[in-house]
Structures are given as C-alpha cells and as structure tokens.
Amino acid sequence: MKKLARLFVVIAIGSACFLGCSKSEDFDYERALEEQRIKDSLELERKKKIIAEQAGALKAFADQHMEGATLHDSTGIWLQILEPGDNNSYTYQVSARGGILAPRISVKYKGTLLDGTVFDESKDDKPVEMSLASVIEAWQLAFLPKTFRFNGDNHTTGGLTPNGFKKGAKFRIVTPSPWAYDTATREKIPANSPLYFEIEVVDIK
C-alpha cells in the first residue's frame, strides 16, 4: 500500500503542477512536494492516534467473537482465518504504469458495527460481484498478498497475509475506522466506526 500511496502523491503533485503551470511558469514543484509530505505525515499521525484509541474495543471484540484471531500490528486490524482458500486460483498483475491491476471479486459477506447492528450483507445466500478497487481499504489489505512476484519482480502491498485471500477463502476481520469509512457517515454507519466483516470468497478473477 505504501507504493500505491506514493503513486497517489505523484499524481496529486502532477495535477497541481499542470494547473499551476498553465497560469505561471513559476510553479514551485519542490515546495508542493514538501507541502504534500507534511500533509501525509499529519494524516498518518491522525490515523495512528485513532487506531490506538480504538485498540481496546477491537481487542475485546476479537476476544469475544473471533477465537484465535491475530492482530496485524501496523494497521490494528484483527483477522480470523476460517478457510485459507486456493492460492493458485488467481495471480496478481501490474500495469505498465506500475499500479496493481484490481481483480473482480465475488463474495458473500455481512458487515456489522461492534454492537451487532448489521449495516450491509449479501442477500439470499447469493454472492455479490465488485472490483477490489471499489471497496474499503480494510478489504484491500485483506485480499492483497503481503508481497507477490510479477514478471520477475517482487511487489510489496502491505497485505495482512503472505498470500492474500482467493477463491474458497472464508475469513473475518474487525478494523479500526481509518481503514473503513473514517470520519465519513454512511447509512447505518456513524462517523469513526470500527467495523466487523464476515467474508466468503466465491470467486476472484
């Protein structure tokens, strides 16, 4: 995820440069880069603070509802693996620009608040198909392998597990709010809400 974050920074700075240079030849690229670095640093510290504040509640939830769950220290996400799935069912690829190509995933799932309130779920035991690029960051961290090889090169993603989750996998996660909807409010989801998910991967392609 660090590599993706760096890519977003480059895109943001590039866009600013394009807009600025259209008005003036005096755009200060180095200053813009430093301002973005400061913003990123402040945002990281903000997320760390929230994760630390929510850690106790997430641990208590995992202890009660996710037997044998493990903590991913750098994100504060708790993970319980029920079925590892078929690691050979999908291979991640990288685009010519260096970004990870997001697969389409077919999943059965349920999402709740820590108090058990269901805010979303697949219906009638039927899977829902979506792009991995369209889901919250906690899901991306769960699905992506920690590292993978493509065209002879190693790519690091920051995923929760060595292989990620593929076809046939069943797992549960409880995540701090920064990797979910953070400060945004959604229907049935208050701002700054940690979230719990039960996920079954029917297919990935």
> pLDDT at position 204, please?
98
Report which residue type is found at 108: K
Per-residue pLDDT at 98: 87
Residue 34 falls within a domain, yes or no? Answer: no
* β-bridge pairing 153-156 and 128-131: unpaired
Identify whether the C-beta of residue 190 lies closer than 8 Å to the C-beta of residue 117.
no
Q: What does the alpha-carbon distance between residue 129 and residue 41 come to, in Å, rounded to a whole number?
A: 35
Domain-embedded: residue 85: yes
Number of domains in the chain: 1
Q: What is the pLDDT of residue 7?
A: 35
* pTM for the model: 0.82
Tell me how crowded residue 108 is: count the other CB atoms within 10 A of its CB. Answer: 17
Residue 119 lies in a domain: yes
Its domain, for residue 82, covers 56-204
Tokens of 201: 């991967």
Give the CATH number, domain containing residue 198. Answer: 3.10.50.40
Query: Is 38 part of a structural domain of the chain?
Result: no
Report mean pLDDT in 10-residue bins for the chain, 205 residues: 41 40 62 84 93 98 98 97 97 92 98 98 97 97 96 92 97 98 96 99 98
The neighbour count for residue 185, using CB atoms within 10 Å, is: 11
Tell me the residue length of the chain. Answer: 205
For residue 29, the model assigns a pLDDT of 77
Q: Is position 24 within any domain?
A: no
Assess if residue 131 is contained within a domain: yes
DSSP-assigned letter for residue 171? E
Q: How much is the pLDDT for 113?
A: 99
With respect to residue 26, please indicate whether it lies within any of the assigned structural domains. no
Residue 25: predicted pLDDT: 58
Q: Is residue 12 left, alpha or beta, with left meaning phi > 0 and alpha meaning psi from -120 to 50?
A: alpha
Q: At what angle do helices 29-65 and 2-23 cross, to 10 degrees?
A: 150
Beta bridge partner(s), residue 67:
none
Do residues 85 and 169 lie in contact, with contact meaning Cβ atoms separated by under 8 Å? yes
Please indicate, yes or no, if residue 3 is contained in any of the structural domains: no
